[in-house]
Amino acid sequence: MKLIKFPQYFSYWTFDPFLDQVQALLPSLKSAPDDVLFDFSATEHVSELGLLLIAQTADNFRDLKCHCTVMYIADKEKNSAWLLQIMHLIKGDKQSQEVEAYLDSFRVPIQRCYQEKDIYEALNKKLIPVIRKEFNPSASIVKAINWVLWEAIGNSIVHGYSLRNYSGVFPYPIYFCAMSYEKYIRIAILDLGQGIHTSLTSSGVEAYKNITNDEALGLAIQNGVSGNPDGSPGFGLYGSAEIARQSGGELVIISEKSKLILKEGELKIEPSSYYQGTLVQLQLPSSLNIDLTKIFGKDALIATEDIDTLTGNFDD
């Protein structure tokens, strides 16, 4: 049996040991599938981004024919929504109505998006109603957030999965979840693509050819860097960063070997344990005072465009 032990708080600042454990286990699990025990006996909290990372890892292990189980302490105070969510994620069970009801605090439980319709469902029909209810922001800000998130996830499709023109499902799911707290909403996105650094260095742009991992993450939050000829202007991560800056929110990006943290207006980029794809976490405070023209300039059409026009209407 293989053991993965989790820390007291499993969030982006404690991901490295977990990522190192997974990388060390994968070669042996690929050659000889085994039982894998996820040990949460000392864990008190798992962040939304942590949930996605656990979900993706458990899915990967099950694809390798491994049997995944969970260890935890039977303490009512510790049996919170995230623990129930984890148990079902790791076992691969479909959540019962009872569990879904208990997980009400997870306003958008884990979504595995296999095509654009799934993303539309997760954003427009699950997250946006929560933002409207919890924060009561203006319609233009709601549309701005919707578009920025759609673009951020679109980066996974176009750049992460290298799918400029495609039909059918994504090669790997894009994972998404969100949690509302008293003073903020935290949104997490994970893809299994090639990573930001590889995407930029292989883009054909001469200026990106020899950039480092750290430089790639810094560029990713600049205006237009992640745009593409099919029409996406590259507002996703740039818009996320600007919304975080203006509102006092927080943005975390982990990709390949680097971690970007934008918090309280300060930007840090530091080394991270290897993760092939890209993890994104955006925290939005309830005081969503955002000047759209400062972010989007002349292209601030979000204030007038209908949400379905921006994201595509998949209600048929």
* Position 24 in a domain: yes
* Bigger pLDDT: 230 vs 132: 132
Residues 96 and 143 in one domain: no
Residues 180 and 300 in one domain: yes
What's the CATH code of the domain at 64?
3.30.750.24
What's the rounded mean pLDDT across residues 286-294? Answer: 73
* Bigger pLDDT: 288 vs 31: 31
Task: Kindly report which listed range (113-122, 163-172, 174-183) carries the lowest average pLDDT score.
Answer: 163-172
Q: What is the pLDDT of residue 22?
A: 94
Instruction: Please give the sequence-ordered ranges of beta strands (E in DSSP) within the chain, or none if there are none.
Output: 2-5, 9-10, 35-39, 45-46, 67-71, 108-113, 174-180, 184-191, 250-263, 266-285
Domain boundary among 60, 88, 105: 105
> How many domains, the chain?
2
What's the CATH code of the domain at 217?
3.30.565.10
Q: What is the pLDDT of residue 248?
A: 85
State which residues form the domain around 19: 2-105
Domain boundary among 105, 140, 161: 105
Q: What is the pLDDT of residue 104?
A: 52
pLDDT band for position 14 (cuts 50, 70, 90): very high
Under a CB-based contact definition with an 8 Å cutoff, are residues 253 and 263 in contact? no
* Position 295 in a domain: yes
Percentage with pLDDT > 70 across the chain: 78
pLDDT band for position 130 (cuts 50, 70, 90): confident
Please, what's the b/e burial string for 293-307 (b: 16 or more CB within 10 A of its CB; e: otherwise)?
eebbeeebebeeeeb
* 39 DSSP β-pair partners: 5, 71
What's the rounded mean pLDDT across residues 107-113? Answer: 83
Gap between the Cα atoms of 137 and 8, Å rounded = 35
Task: Kindly report which listed range (186-190, 221-225, 264-268) carries the lowest average pLDDT score.
Answer: 221-225
* Bigger pLDDT: 299 vs 193: 193
* Side chain identity, residue 178: A
> Could you read off the pLDDT of 32-68 as tens digits, one per residue?
999 999 998 888 888 989 989 998 999 999 999 999 9
* Bigger pLDDT: 295 vs 205: 205
* Position 316 in a domain: no
Q: What is the pLDDT of residue 185?
A: 86
Q: How many other CB atoms are there within 10 angstroms of residue 129's CB atom?
A: 13
* Position 186 in a domain: yes
Residues 52 and 88 in one domain: yes
Gap between the Cα atoms of 255 and 152, Å rounded = 14
Residues 51 and 134 in one domain: no
Q: What is the pLDDT of residue 120?
A: 83
Domain boundary among 105, 132, 158: 105
Q: In this model, does residue 224 exceed pLDDT 80?
A: no
Task: Kindly report which listed range (32-46, 83-97, 136-150) carries the lowest average pLDDT score.
Answer: 83-97
Q: What is the pLDDT of residue 228?
A: 45
* Position 37 in a domain: yes
Q: What is the pLDDT of residue 165?
A: 54
Gap between the Cα atoms of 256 and 216, Å rounded = 10
What's the rounded mean pLDDT across residues 257-276? Answer: 93
Residues 64 and 200 in one domain: no
* Position 79 in a domain: yes
Task: Kindly report which listed range (162-166, 171-175, 207-211) carries the lowest average pLDDT score.
Answer: 162-166
Residues 87 and 214 in one domain: no
Task: Kindly report which listed range (15-24, 103-112, 113-122, 257-266) carries the lowest average pLDDT score.
Answer: 103-112
Q: What is the pLDDT of residue 265?
A: 85
* Position 214 in a domain: yes
Residues 214 and 101 in one domain: no
